[in-house]
Structure 1
């Protein structure tokens, strides 16, 4: 025997006759079955030989040495196994008798497999329905699927749900196929050992392998997010980040920082910036900043003047997603306001600009190229001042430049 050769394993593992025929075709081509894996089947190169292969099922226990010895005496050599499927081979010239000569009796060997597959189909089906319900709430409850996609909250879970859904589908097919096989055996109809694999079957199996690899790669997404996502206290001085600062909006030399925010792990969450990464927006910033102007009161006399600003910044991987993200951000931050109060305005240097104003609170949504910025501001600065600052910052992320967290520091 020579070196090993690996073939994609057909994912329809319950198709016993097709597997047996395929192994025989491989042996005739000089590839002899060596081992069954979850995704691949390994063969060893050797001389072409006419072989017969048979698959036996034992779901409760491992086939005993006595039974293996009995099979060997009948001309059947044990080759390999996968869970409850045991594969035996025999040269054609030996003319070995069948492992099971009575089809009706053989049907009882797969009764428990039939029940097990039915149970698997039920539980994976229920799991799929529950995950679809949960993910539907995440993606569509607020009507902001693009915002959810950009933030990257549920990408990995959605891919995993798709995999579980496909598993439920294959489990259901397996259950029906084994039940049909069992019924045929009980009626005295033997397994069709001349059935062959269609090219579409092998393409579907290859798809499952590729999809499984994608599942594995998707598991990297939350790890990268965990590693790259950081939160730090905003320095009082200006830093080279594409975020709108409170001092730039207020333009008041008497402005000081309001340091009465929540402190945790050395971070002032009232004056912080968070860098986040996602596959559809590799550069994301979220900031909060609060200030005070000594001696100044709110215009309605409600207390000392304490302006604040909250910003969200995105540099998108796909610029055409900007309009949809703007629409979803408006929905996300709309709260109880009337939709008509969110006014779309023309701006010569911005692709899109939406403004909401109410007393001392303003919300501004802007996009240019692959850059999107949202600003929510409490204070008495006018809207044009905020838009001017957004215009300056969005230029840093609207083109092909990539701003990394490390470079910014």
Structure 2
């Protein structure tokens, strides 16, 4: 057996004439077709030969042995197949007759393929439209596309939608091309055996290979997220993480944590931190923490003072995304408040600082370099105290590799 050589094949599998001509050109160079894959054609290196190649279509996906024997008796040897397309070869000197001498008869076989391809095209187009609608809602319904991108919720689904969209496009092209071929055959116009595979086709096929590999690699995203993402009960003592702790804000020795109200999988979900990962924010923390201060009541006399804090921390891959993420976080957490209540504040040690101050609620959005922190605090501590803690945590983010 000679050395095997792999070549990027024309991705338009329905272009019969181009494939036949390409196989003949390869044979003239000493590369003889052995197998057709989705992206590559396998050739065996040997002596250059003048060969003829023909592609036959079998809608039943299998040509009978009797038909193969009949073709062999006529000088055509079966080589390989791709889906419904069977490839046969014959040395030029054998002068084998064409597989199909009646173009109109051949068109009836192609009619069945035309119907099958049309069904596939309709299905993929409908699937693409549905996925685009679903993804549009995820990306743009709240007007926070950068936040969605950073969180990594829809990256894999979007890449999958792009692949399905490309499949729909190729299905439509295949349907139109096969339909045009059938029309030509009905008009007694044979397949163009001299159609060439141009440089542009090679570039397009190479792009398809790269795109398909990229799609395959993207499948690792949810796997990495599954491995890296975890949720743990927040320790009562301080931890060396870039998260704002309730004790650091309250600064009251009588602050305690009550018994958990909701436990699941061994996690106190009222006092927990989640570690997350996405391609555009490989380091993320999401925390909730609550407690009560013994002997202290709310200023309006509504009961025992029970402050809480929610924190989201991001270390971005691209620092240039920080401003857009801040803007989207403000939109996402704005709720019923007026936009004017979210005030941009100049801070000497932060790139950006946006503050909202309500009756008992404070929301702070801050960024520095590739670090972004959002804090929603419920309690009566001063805003400056929270900002000071955020500034300290930004230094920890900068030190994370």
TM-score range, shorter chain: over 0.9
Equivalent in the alignment of 2:102: 102
Measured at CA, do residues 226 and 61 of structure 1 come closer, stay the same or move farther in structure 2, by a change above 3 Å?
closer
Which structure 2 residues correspond to residues 327-342 of structure 1 after superposition, within 5 A? 327-342=327-342
Q: Distance in 2 between matches of 1:75 and 1:250?
A: 90
Equivalent in the alignment of 1:392: 392
How far residue 104 of structure 1 moved from its aligned partner, in angstroms, is 1.1
How far residue 105 of structure 1 moved from its aligned partner, in angstroms, is 1.2
Query: Is 1:75 paired with 2:62?
Result: no
Provide, for residues 274-330 of structure 1, a one-character-per-residue CA deviation record: whole Å limited to 9, x for no partner: 111111111100100001011211001111100000000000000000000000000
How far residue 402 of structure 1 moved from its aligned partner, in angstroms, is 2.4
Contact 1:17–1:191 under 8 Å retained in 2: yes
Contact 2:77–2:88 under 8 Å retained in 1: yes
Q: Distance in 1 between matches of 2:306 and 2:142?
A: 31
TM-score (norm 1): 0.97
Contact 1:259–1:270 under 8 Å retained in 2: no
Equivalent in the alignment of 2:64: 64
4+ residue stretches of structure 1 with deviation over 2 A? 258-261
Equivalent in the alignment of 2:194: 194
* Range with greater deviation from structure 2 (80-89 or 125-134): 80-89
Contact 2:147–2:325 under 8 Å retained in 1: yes
Provide, for residues 115-171 of structure 1, a one-character-per-residue CA deviation record: whole Å limited to 9, x for no partner: 011111110000000000000001001110000000000101100100000000000
How far residue 261 of structure 1 moved from its aligned partner, in angstroms, is 3.0
How far residue 61 of structure 1 moved from its aligned partner, in angstroms, is 4.6
In structure 2, the gaps of 5 or more residues are none
Q: Distance in 1 between matches of 2:260 and 2:67?
A: 78
- Could you say what secondary structure the match of 1:395 adopts? helix
Which structure 2 residues correspond to residues 343-358 of structure 1 after superposition, within 5 A? 343-358=343-358
Equivalent in the alignment of 1:406: none
Equivalent in the alignment of 2:400: 402
How far residue 103 of structure 1 moved from its aligned partner, in angstroms, is 1.0
Which structure 2 residues correspond to residues 3-402 of structure 1 after superposition, within 5 A? 3-397=3-397, 399=398, 401-402=399-400
Contact 2:61–2:83 under 8 Å retained in 1: no
Provide, for residues 154-208 of structure 1, a one-character-per-residue CA deviation record: whole Å limited to 9, x for no partner: 1011001000000000000000000000000000101000000111111111111
The Cα RMSD (Å) is: 0.8
Contact 1:261–1:271 under 8 Å retained in 2: no
Q: Distance in 2 between matches of 1:366 and 1:316?
A: 13
Q: Distance in 2 between matches of 1:392 and 1:223?
A: 33
Provide, for residues 73-102 of structure 1, a one-character-per-residue CA deviation record: whole Å limited to 9, x for no partner: 111111111121111100000001101111
Contact 1:59–1:84 under 8 Å retained in 2: yes
TM-score (norm 2): 0.99
Q: Distance in 1 between matches of 2:4 and 2:199?
A: 23
Contact 2:51–2:89 under 8 Å retained in 1: yes
How far residue 258 of structure 1 moved from its aligned partner, in angstroms, is 2.8
How far residue 70 of structure 1 moved from its aligned partner, in angstroms, is 0.8
